[in-house]
Amino acid sequence: MRAPWIAAAAVTALVAAGAITYAVADGDDSGMTAPAADSADAGFARDMAVHHQQAVEMSYIVRDRTDNEEIRRLAYDISQTQANQRGMLLGWLDLWELPKVSSDAPMTWMDMAGMADGKDGALMPGMATNTELTKLGKLSGKQAEVLYLQLMTEHHQGGIHMAEGCVKRCEVGVEKRLAQGMVNAQESEISLMAGMLKERGAKALS
Amino acid sequence: MGSAKKSAKDSGSGSAARKARIEEMRRAERSRERRNRILTIGVSVVIVAGLVVGATVLVRSQSDDDSTTAASDSKGTGKFVTGADGVKTWDTKLTQNHVTKTVNYPMEPPVGGDHNQVWMNCNGDVYTKAINNMNAVHSLEHGAVWVTYNSKASKTDIDALAAKVKKTPYTLMSPDDKQADPIMLSAWGKQRTVTSATDPNVDKFFSEFVQGDQTPEPGAACTNGLSQ
């Protein structure tokens, strides 16, 4: 009876020790050697750079369509943050001497190829269509604010899902850390936007 | 088993006794098998549970390696742990929710936790009056280093630090009469006391933590927030 218990305890200890070793060893110089073009590290850098670009664009549009200070500040925050993060992602691809595009469908690196149909500019989950962006550019005041909050909430939801894919699969410590930061920050922004939608008598689309 | 023993004793010698003995052995074997089966299942459950616990530790250590994952309790039971370099690190997760209510931070000045949705401008901004902790914490989230001082700090040190902050984007400075030491430096989850403006630990803290890898939101701005 004792032996199996000892075996079970040993297995548990081994797994825990492995996890601790992994956590301690993680994230040091893992970004110094180039990952493969089809790796999660390269795929996330490519796809999130595209995903972020639309959030930047959308935020610039709404800043031209409303005088509301709170919305304009949120849009400023999102566009600054995502433009900079996009620069980090593209910079890593440059350092790794990897292409910015792939013939594989977006998110193939996280086994989610074909998640979005790519029609009308919505290349990845959460992305707005060109039609929606055009509409945002024509609305003004509260109507523009509500559509922006709705589109950005969906954009964040898709972005968080993709960032979680990198947290799970990426091997470059600094990239994984950035992805986890995106998850935390965008989750917090989704709840902030839910409150802002409520104040405007609206709610998220999904 | 008891009845088999009894019947074997009662029936004396001969084939009846042998039959009873065989029957008893079979029962004993069945009972042994049952015990072994229960033992096997039990041990399997323990091993699987062990693996689940181990895997959970593994997954957590993978996904939380920046110590910024949003948790629900912002006033948790954390404490500072001082490193060999004298920098104190908050030892539990600091939450990142945007809130409008007043947050009571467990340290002064605060190094993280829930905060106001508007960040304090931290593009080398020097404030001569105390600022709201809830706005300042948002600046730390964006990667800023916050220099604070109380009434015991000398004017020479204050002026020298102000000059340094003014030429360093992603830093800010303000008085904080509630803090324990004359001059303190804070970043997200990090804090230290320095003895003067010329203490070499000032430069060290700046180079390590201005937009350092403790930053929960890399790339976020220090401009267009709140100013005094």
Confidence label for A81 from pLDDT (cuts 50, 70 and 90): very high
Angstrom distance (rounded) from CA A120 to CA A118: 7
Angstrom distance (rounded) from CA A19 to CA A196: 41
Asked whether the predicted pLDDT for residue A26 surpasses 60, the reply is no
* Nearest CB neighbour to B217, from listed A22, A181, A191: A181
Confidence label for B71 from pLDDT (cuts 50, 70 and 90): very low
Contact B186, B149 (CB under 8 A): no
The lowest-confidence range among A2-16, A57-71, B30-44 is A2-16
Confidence label for B70 from pLDDT (cuts 50, 70 and 90): very low
Asked whether the predicted pLDDT for residue B141 surpasses 50, the reply is yes
Computed over its alpha carbons, how large is the radius of gyration of chain B?
A: 33
What pLDDT does residue A4 have? 62
What is residue A129's DSSP assignment? Answer: P
Interface of B with A (CB under 8 A): 39, 43, 46-47, 49-51, 53-55, 57-58, 61-66, 68-70, 96-98, 117-119, 213, 215-221, 223-225
Name the closest residue on chain A to residue B62, using Cα atoms.
A23
Residue A192 phi/psi, 5-degree rounding, is -60, -45
The lowest-confidence range among A180-194, B42-56, B82-96 is B42-56
Mutate to test the interface with A, among B58, B60, B120, B139 (most CBs of A within 10 A): B58
pTM of the predicted protein model: 0.71
Contact A97, A34 (CB under 8 A): yes
Nearest of A20, A45, A15, A51 to residue A172 by alpha carbon: A45
* Nearest CB neighbour to A187, from listed B70, B213, B218: B70
DSSP lists the bridge partners of residue B191 as B88, B186
From the CA of A119, how many Å to the nearest CA of chain B? 30
Asked if the Cβ–Cβ distance from A11 to B54 is below 8 Å, we say yes
Residues of chain B found within 8 Å of residue A74, distances taken between Cβ atoms: 117
Residues of chain A found within 8 Å of residue B64, distances taken between Cβ atoms: 180
* Nearest CB neighbour to B46, from listed A8, A16, A191: A8
Name the closest residue on chain B to residue A189, using Cα atoms.
B98
How wide is the angle at C-alpha B218 spanned by C-alphas B216 and B219, nearest 5°?
A: 145
Tell me the domain boundaries of chain B.
2-63, 80-209
The lowest-confidence range among A117-126, B14-23, B57-66, B187-196 is B57-66
Nearest of B188, B181, B211, B183 to residue B198 by alpha carbon: B183
What pLDDT does residue B76 have? 60
Question: At B165, which amino acid appears?
Answer: V
The residue-averaged pLDDT of B74-90 equals 88
Cβ burial A100-135 (10 Å sphere, 16+ → b, else e): eebeeebbbbbebeebbeeeeebbbbbbbeeebbee
Asked whether the predicted pLDDT for residue A176 surpasses 50, the reply is yes
Asked whether the predicted pLDDT for residue B19 surpasses 60, the reply is yes
Confidence label for A32 from pLDDT (cuts 50, 70 and 90): confident
pLDDT in tens, B108-138: 999 999 999 999 999 999 999 999 999 999 9
The residue-averaged pLDDT of B43-67 equals 56
Asked if the Cβ–Cβ distance from A85 to B218 is below 8 Å, we say yes
Residues of chain B found within 8 Å of residue A76, distances taken between Cβ atoms: 221, 224
The lowest-confidence range among A17-26, A50-59, B129-138, B200-209 is A17-26
How wide is the angle at C-alpha A156 spanned by C-alphas A150 and A160, nearest 5°?
A: 150
Longest dimension (CA), chain A: 75
Asked whether the predicted pLDDT for residue B74 surpasses 70, the reply is no
Asked if the Cβ–Cβ distance from B61 to A189 is below 8 Å, we say no
- Other CB atoms within 10 Å distance of the CB of residue B85: 10
Asked whether the predicted pLDDT for residue A38 surpasses 60, the reply is yes
Chain A / chain B CB contacts < 8 angstroms: 125
Name the closest residue on chain B to residue A79, using Cα atoms.
B220
What is the average pLDDT value for chain B, to the nearest integer? 84
Residue with more model confidence, A182 or B33 = A182
Confidence label for B63 from pLDDT (cuts 50, 70 and 90): very low
What pLDDT does residue A116 have? 78
From the CA of B200, how many Å to the nearest CA of chain A? 26
Asked whether the predicted pLDDT for residue B173 surpasses 70, the reply is yes
What is residue B115's DSSP assignment? Answer: B
Asked if the Cβ–Cβ distance from B50 to A11 is below 8 Å, we say yes
Tell me the domain boundaries of chain A.
1-30, 32-199
Confidence label for B207 from pLDDT (cuts 50, 70 and 90): very high
Asked whether the predicted pLDDT for residue B81 surpasses 80, the reply is yes
What pLDDT does residue B62 have? 44
What pLDDT does residue A164 have? 98
* Nearest CB neighbour to B63, from listed A84, A167, A192: A167
* Nearest CB neighbour to A8, from listed B47, B97, B225: B47
What pLDDT does residue B113 have? 97
Strand pairing report for B171-175 and B145-149: parallel
How wide is the angle at C-alpha B89 spanned by C-alphas B87 and B91, nearest 5°?
A: 160
Angstrom distance (rounded) from CA B87 to CA B188: 12
The residue-averaged pLDDT of A65-82 equals 97
The residue-averaged pLDDT of A128-151 equals 97
From the CA of B41, how many Å to the nearest CA of chain A? 11
Mutate to test the interface with B, among A12, A22, A73, A89 (most CBs of B within 10 A): A12
Angstrom distance (rounded) from CA B135 to CA B143: 13
Which CATH number is associated with domain A32-199? 1.20.1260.10
Asked if the Cβ–Cβ distance from B62 to A26 is below 8 Å, we say yes
* Nearest CB neighbour to A176, from listed B51, B65, B215: B65
Order the strands of the B88-90 sheet from edge to edge.
B80-82, B88-90, B190-193, B183-187, B145-149, B171-175, B123-126
% pLDDT > 70, chain B? 80
Which CATH number is associated with domain B80-209? 3.40.30
The lowest-confidence range among A75-84, A178-187, B7-16 is B7-16
Please, where are the H alpha helices in chain B?
A: 2-10, 15-63, 133-141, 155-166, 200-209
Angstrom distance (rounded) from CA B165 to CA B120: 14
Asked if the Cβ–Cβ distance from A181 to B68 is below 8 Å, we say yes
What pLDDT does residue B8 have? 43
From the CA of A104, how many Å to the nearest CA of chain B? 26
Long-range contacts of B126-130 (CB under 8 A, 24+ apart): B126/B162, B126/B165, B126/B166, B126/B172, B126/B173, B126/B174, B127/B172, B127/B173, B127/B174, B127/B175, B127/B228, B128/B174, B128/B175, B128/B228, B129/B174, B129/B175, B129/B228, B130/B174, B130/B175, B130/B176, B130/B177
Contact B216, A181 (CB under 8 A): yes
Distance of CA B98 to the CA centre of its chain: 19
Q: Using DSSP, how many helices (H) and how many strands (E) does chain A show? A: 6, 0
The lowest-confidence range among A134-138, B33-37, B213-217 is B33-37
What pLDDT does residue B14 have? 65
The residue-averaged pLDDT of A112-116 equals 83
Q: What is the ipTM of this complex?
A: 0.74
